[in-house]
A and B are shown apart, each in its own frame.
Chain A
Amino acid sequence: MKRLLTALAATTCLTAPALADNDDRIVVGFATAETGFMQAYDKPAQDAAMIRISEINAAGGLLGKQIEVVNADTKTDRAEGAKAGLTVIDAGADMVVVSCDYDFGSPAALTAESAGLPSFFLCAESIKAGIQGVGPNSFSASVLAAVQGATMAEWSYNKKEARTFYRLLDTWTEYNKGICDGFDWMLPKLADATLVGEDTFLNEDASIAAQITRIKALPEEPDAIMLCTMMPGAVSAIKQIRAAGINSMILNGSGVDGSYWLSAVPDLSNFFVPVQGSIYGDDPNPEVTAFNAKYKEVTGGDPSTQYVYPGYVMIDVWAKAVERAGTTETAAVVAELEKMTAEPTLFGPRTFTSEIHHQNQARYLIVETNAGKPGVVDEWTISEAIPVADLLK
């Protein structure tokens, strides 16, 4: 009897992969971090993706089928990432969702690419997360970091009459460099806007006194400081700038969104962040606020930053493409995705082309922190898309 059971178990195991290829199912495979530091980035966006999936399933599913989900943990490790990618593909995934960050998501995305499946980075903001760094079937659900820098430059120029800019870059990550690259691309297009100085620091630097001294040495305080950095170093840099009595407006990328750190810099003012949607309950689109409530209901907490939202957008655009193609077959789905021009989503229009599977122009809400209270004050879309050639430089 025991032997029979073993044999039975063995055959079930062997036939499982064959069943998985059965086309009656629509499967989304999450090869994301369930443990390790990337989990902090992947989990919220994945929760948002799951909300969209359950919405679609509740409304009757996709192509008349319920969307199924399979998971594999990358453990925030690249080699494990490749295995996780293979695992979800073996489990029959029709689309592979990979880690937020390009460096940690790419091994799984590459396995999807070589298996001829579409892949989506949860919230990567590098041009490489897509055609340029993975292949023709890879997409990112977020917006390029460069768009954030360009948005802040153009918006502050037009709406805040900023004319003199100072550029302070934390060279720690590609993301930071991306924000400043977008700023650099936009600035020459703004008549009589000048860069009065630039400097770099490192996220882990305990003190940026030298950089601050150079800002203080300027004949006049700049109108705006473009601060290209991210957590955790951002807090210390912001604190030191304000403590030195520099009151210029500080422009940032989305990486510093969230109110969790604001207590470290009491009464912060004149501080601006571009976001895809507002977590502060004041989004101009009431559906975003409704989504926030739903997110709280499902996960037990409010979204902590705007990086929750790309997960929702990802399933939204992918499901639309599948619906239009009438199949989950890769070439057809990718072709439908590439036809999307200013496709409306909860968090602004999205466009994919055969040249770029990422947003090189997007609507951003501008969040201003005033006396320690963040809130949406405006929205802005850069006047022209950043050309791919400039993004690759």
Chain B
Amino acid sequence: MSHPVSHGSVARRSIATPVLLGLLLVAFALVALAAGSKPFNQTIIDIFLKVIFVVGLWVFVGNSGVISFGHIAFAGLGGYVAAWTTIKPMMKGLSMPGLPDWLMQTEIPYWASAGLAAGWAALWALIFGSVLMRLSGIAASIATFAMLAMVNSIYSNWDSVTAATSSVVGIPIIRSIWPYLIAALIAVFAAWAYGISRHGLALRAARDEPTAAAASGVDIPRARLIAFVISGAIMGMGGALYAHSIGIVTPDTFYLGLTFITLSMLVVGGMGSLSGAVLGVLILSTLIQTLRWLEAGVEIGTTTFALPGGVQEIGLGVVMILILMFRPAGIMGNRDLSLPARAASETKGLQSPKT
């Protein structure tokens, strides 16, 4: 970013990235459609949800360079919004009797609940963020982890409003793949648009050269806060859709397990670029699925070849270590997908100066 660029031209030069990623997601959806198997369809839905989570995470982590362990809390906030607003009022009365009357009577469609969840998570991201974003480095990471523990603790104990640790059931289950695809596309394009916006570029400058950025007039806490709120909103939307994909929510769904799988997908894909976030999910998910198929057994001729149970987790770990050994910055490093002809000369504007 040594020479001034007009905003329009950055958009034009980098639009190929979200378009290519979008096409890749559409291709996954078409594969699911062609396979026509319900469990496979659910697998692809799961992949799209992870794409939403990891892209949401990237908006903050990738641009600010601060690792957040707390973003799954926003997904949890979103998941419970889906529970509060889409379960039939009668069932809600049984499991969550403490809800205010107006909320108890609310019953909205799933897409509205996803939107509302994004708003609710963004609101809390704003509240938490305005305090946490003053911190930087490891202190900020630890503080986000504390936020995750706090949200989990409140939701695990607030009996009358969240049904505490019990599963909340009755959330309408959406088995069609399209809403999840659309949401993943929204996440990818929103992340891209933010990344090339004034605020996104400022935050990336602050990530690489905080002193210089501050000297150039970048208000670092404010720039981080904006990223935090946007990423919180994406996580909230993902959380609500996650709830609609299996029909139940519990606080421990949105805790350490999901936090670490999303973070490792981001790290393996490459934190430095949006493509890394999306490809990290697609590659690791494909790997997990393949290992699961092998675990279940594959028939070759008349014999069934099957890996012992649990190999999936071990295999995943080994592959992740290998990737990080040979590509410490993740599969994509700091590069973004783009059209071959333009790749060499024109995407440099979006790359970190470190490479």
- A35/B310 in contact, CB under 8 A: yes
- A17/B167 in contact, CB under 8 A: no
- A86/B245 in contact, CB under 8 A: no
Residues of the B chain whose Cβ atoms lie less than 8 Å from the Cβ of A84: 39
Asked whether any CB of chain A lies closer than 8 Å to the CB of B166, the reply is yes
Asked whether any CB of chain B lies closer than 8 Å to the CB of A355, the reply is no
- Given contacts A73-B295, A102-B167, A174-B166, A78 and B253 within 8 Å (CB-CB): yes
- A110/B43 in contact, CB under 8 A: no
- A102 CA to B42 CA, complexed, in Å: 21
Residues of the B chain whose Cβ atoms lie less than 8 Å from the Cβ of A90: 37-39
Closest to A126 in B: B166
- A110/B310 in contact, CB under 8 A: no
- A110 CA to B249 CA, complexed, in Å: 13
Contact of B169 among A89, A110, A111, A174 (CB under 8 A): A110
- A79/B46 in contact, CB under 8 A: yes
- A392/B246 in contact, CB under 8 A: no
> Chain A 21-52, CB within 8 Å of chain B: the 1/0 string?
00000000000001100000000000000000
CB-CB contacts below 8 Å: B312-341 with A: 312
Contact of B94 among A17, A86, A392 (CB under 8 A): A392
- A78/B248 in contact, CB under 8 A: yes
Report B96 CB to chain A, min CB distance, Å.
13
- A82/B38 in contact, CB under 8 A: no
> Chain B 40-67, CB within 8 Å of chain A: the 1/0 string?
0111001000000000000000000000
CB-CB contacts below 8 Å: B246-273 with A: 246-248, 250, 253, 257
Closest to B167 in A: A103
- B309/A86 in contact, CB under 8 A: no
Residues of the B chain whose Cβ atoms lie less than 8 Å from the Cβ of A174: 165-166
Asked whether any CB of chain B lies closer than 8 Å to the CB of A253, the reply is no
Residues of the B chain whose Cβ atoms lie less than 8 Å from the Cβ of A72: 39, 296
Asked whether any CB of chain B lies closer than 8 Å to the CB of A106, the reply is yes
- A132 CA to B245 CA, complexed, in Å: 20
Report A16 CB to chain B, min CB distance, Å.
9
- A313 CA to B94 CA, complexed, in Å: 30
Q: How many pairs of A and B residues are in contact by the CB < 8 Å rule?
A: 73
Asked whether any CB of chain A lies closer than 8 Å to the CB of B103, the reply is no
Report A316 CB to chain B, min CB distance, Å.
28
- A83/B43 in contact, CB under 8 A: yes
Asked whether any CB of chain A lies closer than 8 Å to the CB of B182, the reply is no
The interface on chain B, measured as residues whose beta carbon lies within 8 A of the other chain's beta carbons, has a size of: 29
- A83/B46 in contact, CB under 8 A: yes
Asked whether any CB of chain A lies closer than 8 Å to the CB of B139, the reply is no
- A13 CA to B326 CA, complexed, in Å: 37
Asked whether any CB of chain B lies closer than 8 Å to the CB of A114, the reply is yes
- A73/B245 in contact, CB under 8 A: no
- Given contacts A82-B42, A133-B169, A110 and B248 within 8 Å (CB-CB): yes
- B245/A82 in contact, CB under 8 A: yes
- A90 CA to B35 CA, complexed, in Å: 13
Interface residues on A, range: 20 to 34
- B246/A107 in contact, CB under 8 A: yes
- A134/B309 in contact, CB under 8 A: no
Asked whether any CB of chain B lies closer than 8 Å to the CB of A350, the reply is no
CB-CB contacts below 8 Å: A94-133 with B: 102-103, 106-107, 110-111, 114, 128, 132-133
Main secondary structure of the interface of B (DSSP, over half): helix
- A90 CA to B39 CA, complexed, in Å: 8
> Chain A 2-15, CB within 8 Å of chain B: the 1/0 string?
00000000000010
Residues of the B chain whose Cβ atoms lie less than 8 Å from the Cβ of A86: 38-39, 41-42
- A72 CA to B39 CA, complexed, in Å: 11
- B246/A82 in contact, CB under 8 A: yes
- A89/B38 in contact, CB under 8 A: yes
Asked whether any CB of chain A lies closer than 8 Å to the CB of B173, the reply is yes
> Chain B 217-259, CB within 8 Å of chain A: the 1/0 string?
0000000000000000000000000100111101001000100
Residues of the A chain whose Cβ atoms lie less than 8 Å from the Cβ of B312: 75
Report B239 CB to chain A, min CB distance, Å.
13
- A14 CA to B246 CA, complexed, in Å: 26
- B173/A114 in contact, CB under 8 A: yes
Asked whether any CB of chain B lies closer than 8 Å to the CB of A278, the reply is no
- B42/A106 in contact, CB under 8 A: no
- A83/B39 in contact, CB under 8 A: yes
- B310/A107 in contact, CB under 8 A: no
Residues of the A chain whose Cβ atoms lie less than 8 Å from the Cβ of B296: 72-73
- B248/A107 in contact, CB under 8 A: yes
- B309/A103 in contact, CB under 8 A: no
Closest to B257 in A: A77
Report A116 CB to chain B, min CB distance, Å.
14
- B309/A35 in contact, CB under 8 A: yes
Report A392 CB to chain B, min CB distance, Å.
6
Residues of the A chain whose Cβ atoms lie less than 8 Å from the Cβ of B248: 78, 103, 106-107, 110
- A81 CA to B167 CA, complexed, in Å: 14
> Chain B 148-169, CB within 8 Å of chain A: the 1/0 string?
0000000000000000011101
Asked whether any CB of chain B lies closer than 8 Å to the CB of A87, the reply is yes
CB-CB contacts below 8 Å: B61-81 with A: none
Closest to B253 in A: A78
Report B258 CB to chain A, min CB distance, Å.
9
Residues of the B chain whose Cβ atoms lie less than 8 Å from the Cβ of A79: 46, 242, 245-246
- A173 CA to B165 CA, complexed, in Å: 8
Residues of the A chain whose Cβ atoms lie less than 8 Å from the Cβ of B310: 35
Residues of the B chain whose Cβ atoms lie less than 8 Å from the Cβ of A34: 309
Closest to A77 in B: B257
- A81 CA to B173 CA, complexed, in Å: 14
- B39/A128 in contact, CB under 8 A: no
- A249 CA to B312 CA, complexed, in Å: 47
Residues of the A chain whose Cβ atoms lie less than 8 Å from the Cβ of B246: 78-79, 81-82, 107, 110
Residues of the B chain whose Cβ atoms lie less than 8 Å from the Cβ of A392: 94
Residues of the A chain whose Cβ atoms lie less than 8 Å from the Cβ of B175: 114
Closest to B295 in A: A73
Q: What are 29 of the A-B contact pairs (CB < 8 Å)?
A: A72-B39, A73-B292, A73-B296, A75-B312, A77-B257, A79-B242, A79-B245, A79-B246, A81-B246, A82-B245, A83-B43, A87-B39, A90-B37, A102-B167, A103-B167, A103-B248, A103-B250, A106-B169, A106-B247, A107-B246, A107-B247, A110-B169, A110-B246, A111-B173, A128-B167, A173-B165, A174-B165, A174-B166, A392-B94
The 3 closest A-B pairs by CB, nearest first: A87-B39, A86-B39, A86-B38
* B contact set with A: CB distance below 8 Å: 36-39, 41-43, 46, 94, 165-167, 169, 173, 175, 242, 245-248, 250, 253, 257, 292, 295-296, 309-310, 312
Extra inter-chain contacts (15) besides given A89-B38, A103-B250, A107-B248, CB under 8 Å: A14-B36, A17-B36, A78-B246, A78-B253, A79-B246, A82-B245, A86-B41, A87-B38, A106-B247, A106-B248, A110-B247, A128-B167, A128-B169, A132-B94, A133-B169
